[in-house]
Amino acid sequence: MKEITFEQLNKIEEEYFADKSATIARHAIAASDIAVAASSKDSVKEMDFNFDINIKTMAVSNQKASGRCWIFAACNVMRELIGKKIGAGTFKLSQSYIAFYDKLEKLNYALNALIETIDKDYDDRTVQFLVQSGIGDGGQWDMLVNVVKKYGICPKNAFVETFTSNNTRILNSLLNAEIRRFASESRVVLRKDGMDAVEALKDSYMKRFYRALISCYGIPPKNFDLKYTDDKNEYHVVRGFTPKSFFEKYIGKEIDEYVSCINAPTKSKPFMKSYTVKYLGNVADGKIVKHLNLPMERLKELILCQLKDNQIVWFGSDVASYGDRMRGVWNDQEFDFKSLLDLDIKMEKGESLDFRASAMNHAMCITGVGFDANGVPSKWKIENSWGDDRGYKGYFIMSASWFDQYTYQAVVNKKYLTKEELAAYEAEPVVLQPWDPMGSLAD
C-alpha cells in the first residue's frame, strides 16, 4: 500500500497557491455552504412552474420525520381516485394506518428471514445484511399493495397521526435492536430445544411487537363512517365501513392494474426482463416486489401516457444530489462543483448504480410536464410529501437531465404496456441479491 509523502503534499500546495481560482473558491466556501457557492443560475430561467400538462391535485401532505414517502405518494394516488368517485376536491387518507400494518408485517417478515438463514454463520453476508438492515420506514409499491389488500385503508380522521408515527427514529432503533437480539437468541434456542422452540420464541417477539406498535401508533379502527364535503359544498356521511370494505368499494381490483417499471441500465440487468430482490417484502406469502427494466425513453413514454389520461404517477428517484430543497428544484445544471472544487461527482447512470454512487431513496408523484419546442419533456412537476413550506406550495420541479439521470422507477397502468412488455413483466423474474440498489427505496 503506497503512503502519502510530504514531497507530494508540498507539490500539490505549490500548485494550489499558484491557482487564483482556488483562492477564490476557498474564500467563497469559508463564508457559505458548498452547494450555495457552487450554484449556477444560468438555466434557472427554464425552471418556472408553468407546464403543458398540469394535473390538478389535492394539497400536499407532510411525512415529517419519518421515511414513509412511498406510503404518502401511494395515498396521493389513491385519494385522487377516491376523490373523483365521491366528487370531493379534498380528501385525506390515513398514512399512519398503512404504516402500522406495514411495520407489523415487516417485523414478521424479518424474523422469518432470520429463521430461514438460521443455519448460516453469523458473518455470512446475507445474515449480516438482514441484521444490519433490520426494518425501516421505506418500502415499494408492491409492498403497499400487499398491505392495503390485506388490511384495507381508512380516512385520516379514523386513524390520526401520533408523535411516534411522525418521528420514527427511536421506535425503529428499538425494534431493530430486538430483531438483532432474536437473531442471536434464536440460534441458542435452536441448539438447545429445536425449531419448534424457535417458532414459539418468534411468537413471543411478535406479541411484544404488536403491543409496542399499538402503544406508539394507537388502536387501528375496526369500523368508521366516511364524512366529506363534495365539490358543491354539500356534506355527506356514509356509515358502516370497515377498512377492508372501504378499500374494496373505492379502490379494489384497480390496484392490481399497476406495475412497476424501472430504468437500471447496468450490465447485470438487461432490458425487457423482470426482476425481484431477495428478502425484499413485508407480507409473508404476499405479492413479490417485481420490476420490469426498460430504457429511459420508454419509461418516459409510459409516464406521459398516464399523465395525458389525467392520472398522476408514483415514482422513485435519488434526491440526494443537485437539489435546492427550499426552492423545490432538482437540476444538475444548477450546481458546478467541478469549477469550484475540481470534484466531478457525475457518473454514467449504470456505473453509479453498480458502485453505489446513486440509488432510489425517495418516492413522490409526477403531476405535470413541460415540453420544449420539439415536444420533448424539458421539466417535470412533482408532488412531494415534505409539507407546503418549501418549493411551490410543496410542489417541486425536476429538470429533464436530472430526471433522466436520477429517476429509476415509475408505477404505471399496465394497459399502456405492449404485449411484449407485459409478457416480460409477467415472466419469472430474475432474483437479485438482497443488497441490490433496486431494493434501496425500502431501506
Active site members: 69, 362, 384
Residues contacting residue 303 through CB under 8 Å, at least 6 positions apart:
313, 315, 366, 369, 410, 412
Closest C-alpha among 274, 311, 368, 292 to residue 52: 368
Tell me how far apart the alpha carbons of residues 194 and 88 are, in angstroms, rounded to a whole number: 56
Tell me how far apart the alpha carbons of residues 427 and 203 are, in angstroms, rounded to a whole number: 35
Q: What is the DSSP letter of 120?
A: S
Q: Which three cell numbers stand for residue 301?
A: 413514454
CA distances from 136 to 105, 129, 322, 372, 442 (A): 12, 13, 25, 40, 7
Q: Where are the alpha helices (DSSP H) in 123-258?
A: 125-133, 141-151, 163-166, 169-193, 195-217, 243-250
Tell me how far apart the alpha carbons of residues 137 and 167 are, in angstroms, rounded to a whole number: 11
